Amino acid sequence: MLKNGDVVRRRRKCLDCGRRFTTYERVEKSPILVLKRDGKRERFDEVKLKEGIIKAVEKTKVSGDDVERIVSEIAGKIRQSERAEVESREIGEMVAEELKKKDKIAYIRFASVFKRFVDLDDLQKEISKL
CA distance 37 to 35: 7
Question: pLDDT by residue (tens digit) across 64-108?
Answer: 899 999 999 999 898 888 788 999 999 999 999 999 899 888 988
Q: pTM, whole model, 2 decimals?
A: 0.68
Give the torsion sign (CA, 42, 69, 51, 107). Answer: positive
* Domain range annotation of the chain: 31-129
